Every structure is written in structure tokens, then in C-alpha cells.
Structure 1
Amino acid sequence: MSFLLKKRLLVFLLTLISLVANALGSPVFVRDLKAWQEGGCVKLLIFLEKEVSYKVGFLKKDPLQNRPSRVYIDFAPARISNEVPSSLELGSKGYKIRVGQFDSNTVRVVVEGINLCYHKVFKLDFPFRFQIELYEEKSVTSQGMQPLTVVIDPGHGGKDPGAIGPTGLKEKDVVLKVAKILREKVEKRLGWRVILTRENDDFLPLEKRTEIANKVGGDRFHLHSL
């Protein structure tokens, strides 16, 4: 085999390896997880570095193995950060949430004790996160209809501080805190689905804020201003 042919073969192999590596993708880190309960609905916020593939599955109760009914959500390719709690327990219904590295390429979130009727998944940016809502059959039956979706937009953020008080308090920090309190109260008192356009100190242009509202099918859009 001539030197030129060997060189071409080497270049081809290196290119092929690079293409395969890119196709497989580098694992994305799961940075944080938050969860709360609203009646028969479990809501999860899962923060990642960027978007990855996900899969939602349901396993029925297995009395022989003493295993409760459970929902699992797989993210791949993904790795779990040390900051993410390995387990959580929610409210009076005793829902248990486990998070772990299912295999070298997959992070699995498991919710135990929920009889899943249907679920909804929203993808949000700044930072990238999945909002996953799991509804129990009895909850859906008793409500008779799906709840309204309200999008709350905490104004300003990031490079836009808004008004700054004499003590240095920034409007962007106040509206974010108020928006989170408002979300909690609306969900608890009205049972509506609430999504924030931003969860952290990030700047979003106006068109991005309305894009989020349209993406999640918001019935109401609240622009927060103080």
C-alpha cells in the first residue's frame, strides 16, 4: 500500500470517528431538580445545560415484588451533577422521587406512587429546563376539565436591572421573587398550571417571552411590573 493511499485511509478513518462521536453526542449535565404537588398532579422542573432527548414511561403496581406504580423519565445522553438531590418526598400523598444515573448515558427520574393518566412536557429556555406535569386518573376525573395555563413574565433580568432603589435593590430581583410567590399561590388556590418565562437572573428579549407563552399554550399572560 502506497504512502499516499495510507494517508488517505487515515484521514477517512479520523473523519469517520469524528462523525460517530458527534452523532452520539457529548453527555449533557442535569444541574438541578425541583418538585411540588398540586392535588393529584406532580410537577417537576428539571434544569439541564441544554436540550436532550427524553422518554416518559409508566410501570403499574406490582404486589408480588412489593413495587408501587411509578413513572420514569429518561434523559439521554446525560449525566447527573452532584448538586442534584438523589431523592425527594412530596406532601401527604407520599409521592417519592428518585434521581440517578440509570446507565453511563442515561439519567432517570422516577416518581413512585402515582397512577398516571396523562402527562405534559414543556421545554423552556434561560436556563434550559423541562417542566413535566404528571396527572393522576382520579385527579383528572374529579376536575372534569384541564386547568388553565397561566404564563407569568418577571420583567427585566440579566443585563436589564430595571429600577434600582437607594439601597441597591434591583427591580429584576424583586419581580422574580414576587412571580415565584404568585405562582405558588395561583397553583394552590386555583389549581391552574403556571409557567414562568425565567427562573433565574437571565435576560430575555420581548419576542422570546411571548414565544414561551405561545409554545406552552398559555390561556393567560401576565407581564409583571412594579
Structure 2
Amino acid sequence: MAMRFHSFFCFTINRSVRILFSVLLLAFCWLNPVSAEAESPAQIVNLRHWTNPTYTRVVLDLSRTADYKYNVLPGDASKGLSPRIYLDIPDSTRDLAVSPVVEIEDGLLRRVRFGTPEPGRTRMVIDLVTSADFKVFHLEDPYRIVIDIGGNQKPVLSARSPEIRNSPPGRGSDALAEVLGRNAAPAAKKRPSPANNERSGLRRIVVDPGHGGKDPGAVGPNGVLEKDITLAMAKLLKKQLEKDIGCEVILTRDRDVFLPLEARTAIANKVGADLFISLHANASHHRSAHGTETYYLNLSKNDQAAAVAARENGTTLKEVGDLEAILFDLMANAKINESGRLAAEIQKSMVSRLSRKYSNIRDLGVRQGPFYVLLGATMPSVLVEAAFISNHREEARLVTQDFQQNTALAISQAVRNYGVALELLAQR
């Protein structure tokens, strides 16, 4: 009897353990699903490029995160081979909507080709006209690989819109990407330069209204959208710069459309801009946070700067840290010192002007951060956080044309001071 009871007791315990183990296994699988995406190869879903004779940016859109490696092969005239950059992506495939050969012929690049050197590995080859400097980096959410290629020719001023061409969109590409070529940067009207500015070193400025389209940016406590504020401010700043500087001003967007972050500096590089100014409204979980600050590209110096970069990049703090690891390679040609000087002029001018008009204007200073929107810019570039849209008082100010106009006046005056100090503009 005792033995039967012991056997029954052991069977019951073992059955309970088995049931508990099964429940835990099911819970683990539910909390950690093995998705089809993780098991399947990464897919190249689109190829985009921005091009002129001195600069080309090629962007590969992928369905998920992927490893990659790249190298350059020298040309061999005796074999009729031009210099080539190649990029290998293991465990990947190419969507059939992406053409295997994309002709570019912009004076710097001949074409982009795709091949499969071995099953499961995709190779992209960029045929160059001549040897050129290049840099490669990737951006997150959605995952894309960016290749910047620079030549030696000087950009030529032209009133044409920057050319943004896509291969036929693959699955997962943004629908608005198809119209970016028409809407990304409308052609600026030619304006006669003032007599004292005939030899201006600031011939063209690109102003970038942050966010747009499906990306609203930060949302204020009363529902005000950052994308609407930045667009309104950018239009006023364009008019003010044209009046004060007499230069050509191009907006990266002049309506409510989505524009990927990598497209914004690509536009500035393509048109040979002398300055790039990206406009934003700040946000914080703390409703009491307020003030104005100006950023330029560099390694972030504190957690607050990293947090702002993460929000504007649409990434996590960890991904911001990963980006900093490759910034050393990316900043070789960036005009860091000039960007810092421009940021200082803008910050000083904004605080000075706005303090005369409004109370409680807080000077948060000039900061450095790893912002996607500034990556790859070949001219002095800054990101302006005009005020906190998350703060009730500053949200109410941001929606008024008076605040927007005074912000535009302050930035325009700062650009003039910057130009005069560097002898890019004549004093008046």
C-alpha cells in the first residue's frame, strides 16, 4: 500500500512538473515569438539616389536589419574596367521590383548593379567614372544603408529642383516616396542680389522644416503638431533670408509631405548649398521644460542632448550610442567648426530677440548631438529647437505668427552676422 501510494505520488508530481514545464514553454514562445521576418533573408525593397556631378547619395531600403561589408576596387584601363565600390549583404535577397541595373550617368557614377556571387548573398556594385571619396553608414527604423560619394567638380547654381529618383517601389516602401521627386524641394525663384552682395559667399541656403506627412513630430498638450509649426516658420524664414541676404533659399518641403531624414541633407548637398538649417520644436516628458537651444553635429556631451537626438532621429538611446561609434568616420568632411559658429550666432540672436518680446525665455545654449538629419552634410549645418511644444506657454507662442516671425528674424540676422564675420557677406 505504501509503495502504491509512493508511486502514485511520484506520478502526480511528475505530471504536474510536465504540465508546468509545458505552460512555461508556451509562455516563453508567446513572449518571444520567432517571426517569419527574423527567419527569412533581409530583402532589398528599394533603391533611391540623389545626384549631381560633385555628389551622389545612394540609399538601399531593406525589410529588416542586416549585416554588410564594403570595399573599393581600382579601375584597370587596359581591361576597360572603371573604379568600383561594392557592398555585400549576406543572408539577403533583392525584390524583383528593384531593377538589377540602374543607370545613373551623372558625371560621377555610371550605374548601380546587383548580383548574387553565391546563394543568399546580394552584392551591389557602383561603377564610378573615376576614383572618388565615399563613406557608408546605416540608419534605423526603417533600416537602410546609405552610401555617400563625393567628386572634385564644383556644384553649379541652378534654379532646378533637386532630382530625387526611385527605382520602382518594392514592398514596404513609403507611398509618398514616389512623389518626392516632384515635391521635395520646389525650385526657388531667382532674385536679384543686392549691390553690396554681388560677391556673396552665401549664395544658396537650404531650410528644412522638420518632420512632415506621416511623421507629425512632437505633439503639444493642446494637439499642436510640430510638423505644422516648422513648416510655417520655414516659409517665413525663407522670405526673411531672401530679403536680408539676397540669396537663393530652398525648402526641403513646402507642404505636408513625408521626407526621409537622409533625403534632407542629400538635397542640400545636391544643390551645393552654403548652409543647412533644420527647424524643430522641442519636447519633454516634463511639462515645465522650456527654452530654446541650437545643435550641430558631433558626439553628444550629455544625456539630455542624446535624448533630443533620439527623439528627432526616431530611435532609441542605444541606437544613438551605436551611431556615435561611427561618427568619427562620418565627420571627416563635415564643417564642424563652422557649424558650431553658426549655431552660436543663431542661439545668441534668438535669445536676444525673443527676450525683448516675451518673458521667461530660457537660454539652453549650443549643444552637440548625433542627428541623422545632419549626417553627411558638406556645408555648415545646424538644428534649431525654437521652443518646447510640450510646454503649455510655449505651445501657445509657437502657433502665433508673431513668435514665428520673430524667430525667423532672429535666425536671419544670425546668418548675416555669421556671413559678415567670415567675410562671406559685405557689411552694411
* TM-score category (smaller protein): 0.5 to 0.7
Q: How far, CA to CA, are the matches of 1:58 and 1:193 in structure 2?
A: 31
Greater share of strand residues, 1 or 2? 1
- TM-score for the superposition, normalised by structure 2: 0.34
Aligned counterpart for 1:189 among listed residues 271, 285, 307 = 271
Contact 2:86 2:125 in 1 (8 A): yes
Structure 2, unaligned runs of 5 or more: 1-38, 155-206, 220-226, 232-254, 279-306, 314-319, 324-368, 376-380, 387-397, 400-428
Distance 1:159 1:153, change over 3 A: closer
Which range moves more in the overlay, 121-130 or 177-186? 177-186
More helix per residue: 2
- Secondary structure of the residue aligned to 2:68 is strand
Deviation at 1:62, TM superposition (A): 1.8
Q: Tell me the residue number matched to 2:258.
A: 176
Structure 1, residues 112-131: CA drift from partner, whole Å, max 9, x if none? Answer: 12444432223212321111
1:209 to 299, 309, 312: 312
Percent identity of equivalent pairs: 17
* Residue 104 of structure 2, aligned match among 90, 112, 116: 90
The TM-score normalised by the length of structure 1 is 0.59
Rounded Cα–Cα distance in structure 1 between residues aligned with 2:275 and 2:131: 17
Q: Which runs of 5+ in 1 are unaligned?
A: 1-24, 141-149, 163-169, 197-204
Pair 1:42-2:56 in alignment: yes
CA distance, structure 1, for counterparts of residue 262 and residue 138 of structure 2: 18
- Please state if 1:28 is matched with 2:110: no
Secondary structure in structure 2 of the residue aligned to 1:174: coil
- Kindly provide the amino acid, as one letter, of the partner of residue 142 in structure 2: P
Mark the CA change 1:119 to 1:80 in structure 2 (over 3 Å): closer, same or farther: same
Cα root mean square deviation, aligned: 4.3
1:161 and 1:215 mapped to 2: Cα distance? 16
Match of 2:142 in 1: 127
Question: Structure 1 residues 101, 68: CA separation in 2 closer, same or farther (over 3 Å shift)?
Answer: same
Over residues 2-48 of structure 1, what are the superposed CA-to-partner deviations in whole Å (9 max), with x where a residue is unaligned?
xxxxxxxxxxxxxxxxxxxxxxx742111111123233332111001
C-alpha change, 1:54 and 1:153, in structure 2 (3 Å) is farther
User: Structure 2: how far apart are the matches of 1:127 and 1:133?
Assistant: 18
Q: Which entry has the higher C-alpha Rg, 1 or 2? A: 2
Letter in 2 for 1:209: E
Instruction: Tell me the CA shift for residue 178 of structure 1.
Output: 11
* Secondary structure at the counterpart of residue 154 of structure 1: coil
User: What SS class does the counterpart of residue 370 from structure 2 fall into?
Assistant: helix
Q: How many residues align?
A: 177
The 2-side partners of 1:220 and 1:44 are apart by 23
Partner SS for 1:85: coil
- Looking at structure 1, the residues matched to 144 and 87 of structure 2 have their Cα atoms a distance apart, in angstroms, of 14
